Protein backbone atom coordinates (compact mmCIF):
# COMPACT_ATOMS: atom_id res chain seq x y z
CA UNK A 1 0.00 0.00 0.00
CA UNK A 2 2.86 2.39 0.78
CA UNK A 3 4.14 2.13 -2.80
CA UNK A 4 0.86 3.22 -4.39
CA UNK A 5 1.04 6.79 -5.67
CA UNK A 6 -2.66 7.48 -4.95
CA UNK A 7 -2.36 6.56 -1.23
CA UNK A 8 -0.86 8.77 1.47
CA UNK A 9 -0.07 6.28 4.26
CA UNK A 10 0.26 7.41 7.90
CA UNK A 11 0.62 5.50 11.18
CA UNK A 12 -0.99 7.11 14.25
CA UNK A 13 -0.63 6.54 17.97
CA UNK A 14 -0.74 8.37 21.28
CA UNK A 15 1.89 8.65 23.98
CA UNK A 16 2.24 9.95 27.53
CA UNK A 17 5.51 11.53 28.62
CA UNK A 18 5.91 11.55 32.41
CA UNK A 19 7.26 14.58 34.29
CA UNK A 20 9.37 12.30 36.46
CA UNK A 21 11.08 10.96 33.35
CA UNK A 22 12.71 7.58 33.49
CA UNK A 23 15.83 6.60 35.33
CA UNK A 24 18.08 4.30 33.36
CA UNK A 25 21.53 2.87 33.89
CA UNK A 26 24.17 5.55 33.74
CA UNK A 27 27.89 5.97 34.32
CA UNK A 28 28.94 7.58 37.61
CA UNK A 29 32.53 8.52 38.42
CA UNK A 30 34.05 6.20 41.06
CA UNK A 31 34.75 9.12 43.42
CA UNK A 32 30.97 9.69 43.79
CA UNK A 33 30.17 6.95 46.26
CA UNK A 34 26.61 8.05 46.92
CA UNK A 35 25.16 9.97 43.94
CA UNK A 36 21.99 12.00 44.41
CA UNK A 37 19.38 11.29 41.77
CA UNK A 38 16.74 14.00 41.56
CA UNK A 39 13.26 12.63 41.07
CA UNK A 40 9.89 14.36 41.16
CA UNK A 41 7.43 11.96 42.80
CA UNK A 42 4.47 13.04 40.68
CA UNK A 43 1.97 11.58 38.28
CA UNK A 44 1.92 14.65 36.05
CA UNK A 45 2.26 13.83 32.39
CA UNK A 46 2.03 15.27 28.92
CA UNK A 47 -0.20 13.60 26.35
CA UNK A 48 0.73 13.72 22.65
CA UNK A 49 -1.06 12.53 19.52
CA UNK A 50 1.36 11.64 16.75
CA UNK A 51 1.47 10.21 13.25
CA UNK A 52 4.38 9.33 11.03
CA UNK A 53 4.49 8.74 7.29
CA UNK A 54 6.60 5.58 6.85
CA UNK A 55 7.35 6.45 3.22
CA UNK A 56 9.17 9.74 3.77
CA UNK A 57 9.46 10.11 7.57
CA UNK A 58 7.22 13.16 7.96
CA UNK A 59 5.74 13.44 11.44
CA UNK A 60 2.75 15.35 12.78
CA UNK A 61 2.21 15.76 16.53
CA UNK A 62 -0.34 17.52 18.71
CA UNK A 63 -0.14 17.92 22.49
CA UNK A 64 -3.40 17.24 24.32
CA UNK A 65 -4.68 17.41 27.87
CA UNK A 66 -6.11 13.93 27.55
CA UNK A 67 -7.02 11.43 24.88
CA UNK A 68 -10.65 11.46 23.79
CA UNK A 69 -12.81 11.46 20.66
CA UNK A 70 -13.01 15.24 20.37
CA UNK A 71 -9.25 15.75 20.48
CA UNK A 72 -8.66 12.78 18.18
CA UNK A 73 -10.99 14.36 15.62
CA UNK A 74 -9.07 17.64 15.87
CA UNK A 75 -5.82 15.73 15.32
CA UNK A 76 -7.24 13.92 12.28
CA UNK A 77 -8.22 17.31 10.86
CA UNK A 78 -4.64 18.51 11.32
CA UNK A 79 -3.34 15.35 9.73
CA UNK A 80 -5.67 15.71 6.73
CA UNK A 81 -4.16 19.14 6.01
CA UNK A 82 -0.83 17.33 5.43
CA UNK A 83 -2.36 14.99 2.84
CA UNK A 84 -0.64 14.95 -0.53
CA UNK A 85 -2.77 16.57 -3.21
CA UNK A 86 -4.89 14.08 -5.14
CA UNK A 87 -4.24 11.22 -2.71
CA UNK A 88 -6.47 9.36 -0.32
CA UNK A 89 -5.08 9.27 3.22
CA UNK A 90 -4.96 5.89 4.94
CA UNK A 91 -4.25 6.02 8.67
CA UNK A 92 -3.09 2.85 10.42
CA UNK A 93 -3.87 2.92 14.13
CA UNK A 94 -4.58 0.82 17.20
CA UNK A 95 -7.95 0.00 18.72
CA UNK A 96 -8.22 2.71 21.38
CA UNK A 97 -11.84 3.37 22.28
CA UNK A 98 -11.81 6.96 20.97
CA UNK A 99 -10.79 5.65 17.54
CA UNK A 100 -14.08 3.71 17.33
CA UNK A 101 -16.39 6.20 19.07
CA UNK A 102 -19.88 6.75 17.68
CA UNK A 103 -19.40 10.50 17.98
CA UNK A 104 -16.60 10.26 15.39
CA UNK A 105 -18.66 8.43 12.75
CA UNK A 106 -20.41 11.47 11.18
CA UNK A 107 -17.06 13.25 10.77
CA UNK A 108 -15.46 10.14 9.25
CA UNK A 109 -18.45 9.71 6.92
CA UNK A 110 -18.07 13.32 5.77
CA UNK A 111 -14.39 12.70 4.92
CA UNK A 112 -14.75 9.15 3.58
CA UNK A 113 -13.52 10.10 0.08
CA UNK A 114 -10.17 11.35 1.38
CA UNK A 115 -9.65 9.42 4.64
CA UNK A 116 -9.72 5.76 5.64
CA UNK A 117 -8.83 4.28 9.02
CA UNK A 118 -7.19 0.83 9.07
CA UNK A 119 -6.96 -0.81 12.48
CA UNK A 120 -4.09 -2.98 13.67
CA UNK A 121 -4.78 -6.30 15.39
CA UNK A 122 -5.42 -5.98 19.11
CA UNK A 123 -2.39 -5.80 21.40
CA UNK A 124 0.18 -5.39 18.63
CA UNK A 125 1.96 -2.07 19.22
CA UNK A 126 5.15 -3.47 17.71
CA UNK A 127 3.48 -3.27 14.27
CA UNK A 128 3.09 0.51 14.47
CA UNK A 129 6.16 2.46 13.25
CA UNK A 130 5.30 5.54 15.32
CA UNK A 131 6.10 3.50 18.46
CA UNK A 132 9.76 3.73 17.43
CA UNK A 133 9.49 7.53 17.38
CA UNK A 134 8.09 7.52 20.93
CA UNK A 135 10.89 5.22 22.11
CA UNK A 136 13.57 7.38 20.50
CA UNK A 137 12.04 10.56 21.95
CA UNK A 138 12.08 9.08 25.43
CA UNK A 139 15.69 7.99 25.04
CA UNK A 140 16.83 11.38 23.72
CA UNK A 141 14.68 13.65 25.89
CA UNK A 142 13.47 12.04 29.12
CA UNK A 143 15.87 9.28 30.19
CA UNK A 144 17.93 10.36 33.20
CA UNK A 145 16.57 13.92 33.07
CA UNK A 146 14.93 15.78 35.94
CA UNK A 147 12.04 18.09 34.99
CA UNK A 148 11.25 20.55 37.75
CA UNK A 149 7.88 21.42 36.20
CA UNK A 150 5.56 19.92 33.63
CA UNK A 151 6.19 22.99 31.46
CA UNK A 152 9.91 22.11 31.32
CA UNK A 153 8.98 18.67 29.97
CA UNK A 154 6.51 20.17 27.47
CA UNK A 155 9.18 22.55 26.17
CA UNK A 156 11.70 19.74 25.62
CA UNK A 157 9.13 17.56 23.84
CA UNK A 158 7.95 20.44 21.61
CA UNK A 159 11.54 21.25 20.64
CA UNK A 160 12.12 17.59 19.77
CA UNK A 161 9.13 17.54 17.40
CA UNK A 162 9.67 21.03 15.93
CB 111 within 8 A of CB 83: no
Q: What pLDDT, on the 0 to 100 scale, is given for residue 28?
A: 77
Does 33 reside within a domain? no
Q: What pLDDT, on the 0 to 100 scale, is given for residue 1?
A: 63
CA angle, corner 59, sides to 120 and 75, nearest 5? 70
pTM (predicted TM-score): 0.85
Which CATH number characterizes residue 131's domain?
3.30.420.10
Question: pLDDT tens digit string along 38-60?
Answer: 666 778 899 999 999 999 999 99
Pairs from 80-83 (Cβ < 8 Å, separation ≥ 24): 80/111, 80/114, 80/115, 82/58, 83/8, 83/114
Q: What pLDDT, on the 0 to 100 scale, is given for residue 46?
A: 93
DSSP collapsed to 3 states, 97-112: HHHCCHHHHHHHHHCC
Does 51 reside within a domain? yes
* DSSP string for the chain: -TT-TTEEEEEEEEEEEETT-B-------TT-SS----------EEEEEEEE-TTT--EEEEEESS--HHHHHHHHHHHHTTPPTT-EEEEEE---GGGS-GGGHHHHHHTTTTEEEEEPPTT-GGG-THHHHHHHHIIIIIBT---SSHHHHHHHHHHHH-
Does 145 reside within a domain? yes
CB 16 within 8 A of CB 134: no
Q: What pLDDT, on the 0 to 100 scale, is given for residue 20?
A: 81
Does 30 reside within a domain? no
Does 31 reside within a domain? no
Q: What pLDDT, on the 0 to 100 scale, is given for residue 43?
A: 82
Q: What pLDDT, on the 0 to 100 scale, is given for residue 138?
A: 92
Does 65 reside within a domain? yes
List, for the chain, all residue ranges whose pLDDT scores fall below the cut of 70.
1-2, 23-26, 37-40
Range of the domain at 104: 7-19+43-157
Total count of domains within the chain = 1
Q: What pLDDT, on the 0 to 100 scale, is given for residue 2?
A: 60
Does 70 reside within a domain? yes
Amino acid sequence: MAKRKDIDLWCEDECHFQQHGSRCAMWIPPENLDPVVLHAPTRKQMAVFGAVCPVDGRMVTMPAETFDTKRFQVFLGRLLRRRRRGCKMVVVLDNARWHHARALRPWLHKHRRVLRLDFLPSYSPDLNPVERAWKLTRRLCTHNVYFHTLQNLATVIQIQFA
